[in-house]
Structure 1
């Protein structure tokens, strides 16, 4: 299923705009079976956040619901946008300094990896991106974190390198995929 997600600024904070491509049957099923549902594999919302009118439309006639579906995503707190951790499936809250780009690619990296789940697995503190908070990750370093998540191509090269390392012990000719992988990650 293809979909489009956008984060939009409002006076109060940020909203997630969801433009599903295709039928909404999967969402109706999730709303009937559970209170929480996932959008884009990384954003978690409670069905009450969709609004009573939209919920009724979805359950009665999902083909006629107005798109995009709009969800509250972050609140404005001083110079930061505060995203509740539960919205990202993590325990820590996330704070984006208002000048930091709040695009989807800052949340979902290659291979549908949740950037903040990766950070959350390594730290128990609230996560600050940009700004002057004492534990803030500078914008440039945050971009480095996103780039550190391997692409499909890098992952395939890594798998080939590991397999060729084993096969080279048994086969007369085996491509040195480890060398190819090293050249690829070093950019040579």
Structure 2
């Protein structure tokens, strides 16, 4: 039997042999060689043997004790030779130490499996910035296959090989897959719950920022307004890793360069465009009707036309445009990322809709849907609503 206890600044492993084998370790401990225990997954030796310690373990006469970890800054630094590892392992003192933390079922050494990884040290639990969280570590232990799962896997492998030759009524492959799916769903981590509080605070701050900016819109120039709104947009669309202001696009028809408000580059290198206008209330749809419809105002029509032409010129620019843009922004792109132009889409952020009548709102939605295959039109009230809905969803996921 193997268990662990704390002794001063040391983590102590206690090994109680099976009946009839009480003294089998006496002779091996006279040498300096490693002695395998627990299916050759743990190794003890004379150097870490502590015969002077007597804590009256369970009233047993024979109990071997070994120092396997030394405490420093709330972490036990584990003995490398004991675990057969090539890196420094630090385990937080608050962990509930037990054999299953080091040896999985069928005598699989857990930490030895990390020897091929490139890190020089691993922290488990506690507040260290690079630590593997305790709940993640415990989840990893639960995901190691048990005897029942291994039997199901073996049956599935055998049945998959012979079912074309031997009639098999039971579908062992389906049973195994069903078991794995059930296990994963029951034991999976819950990132929404883990990060919900952080995301709630983040989106609450963004809502407060947009509301404050809208209250003081007159104090901003357009050059000040645009980059601040763009940062908020990138939280809504985190796939965009770069945003280049006044990006050039070649107008091959007129023979000159145009300037896009912002050229967006996603994590795969594909580009889109965005136009950001200050929020004038009366710039979206008319308050009066034309033939019983609220029609788009000149400002909205002009912005849509402007952005559609930018997208048209981007597509025509094609491969030569990719080369020009990659050359221009090479120093600002993440390593290994290249700009690609493939049917870019656009976004327009402008105007307000809070005072729309129901009819105006319906007609505005008709206008938006007409262009949605190329351009997304978003008002600042849309932006606020989206931020608030996302905030509310994360609030629901926060653990009580």
| 1:125/1:68 CA distance change after superposition, 3 Å | same
Compared with structure 1, are the counterparts of its residues 83 and 30 closer, same or farther at alpha carbon in structure 2 (3 Å cutoff)?
same
- Say whether residues 1:125 and 2:120 are aligned partners: yes
TM-score normalised by length of structure 2: 0.40
**SS, match of residue 173 in structure 1:** coil
* Corresponding position: 1:21 with 2:27: no
Secondary structure in structure 1 of the residue aligned to 2:4: strand
Match of 1:6 in 2: 3
2:43 corresponds to 1:48: no
Matching residue within 114, 120, 124 for 2:109: 114
After superposition, the C-alpha distances for 1:23-70 in whole angstroms (9 at most, x for unaligned) are 24543454467611122232212223325889xxxxxxxxxx953111
Q: What is the number of residues matched between the two proteins?
A: 175
Q: Is there any run of 5+ residues in structure 2 with no aligned partner, and where?
A: 54-59, 184-400
- Partners of 1:37 and 1:47 within 8 A in 2: no
Which deviates more, 150-159 or 101-110?
Answer: 101-110
Q: Tell which structure's C-alpha radius of gyration is larger.
A: 2
CA RMSD of aligned residues (A): 2.5
Which whole-Å deviations, capped at 9, do the CAs of 1:125-166 have from their partners, x for residues lacking one? 322111232331100110111111100110111111111111
Kindly indicate whether residue 73 of structure 2 is the aligned counterpart of residue 78 of structure 1: yes
Match of 1:90 in 2: 85
Q: Unmatched 5+ residue regions in structure 1? A: 55-64
Whole-Å Cα distance in 1 between the matches of residues 6 and 171 of structure 2?
A: 49
Three-state SS of the structure 2 residue aligned to 1:137 is coil
Query: What is the CA–CA distance in structure 2 between the aligned matches of 1:39 and 1:75, rounded to whole Å?
Result: 20
Query: What is the rounded CA distance, in whole Å, between the counterparts of 2:168 and 2:16 in structure 1?
Result: 51
Structure 2 partner of 1:147: 142
Q: Which has the higher contact order (CA 8 A, sep 6+)?
A: 1
Is 2:50–2:65's contact at 8 Å kept on the other side of the alignment? Answer: no
- Corresponding residue for residue 171 of structure 2: 176
Q: Which moved more, 1:121-130 or 1:164-173?
A: 121-130
Q: CA deviation at 1:172?
A: 3.2
| Distance verdict in 2 for CA 1:52–1:15, change over 3 Å | closer
Tell me what 1:35 maps to.
33
**Relative to 1, partners in 2 of residues 1:9 and 1:137: Cα closer, same or farther, differing over 3 Å?**
same
Task: Give yes or no for contact 1:158–1:181 (8 Å, CA) kept in 2.
Answer: yes
Deviation at 1:182, TM superposition (A): 0.7
Contact 2:91 2:123 in 1 (8 A): yes
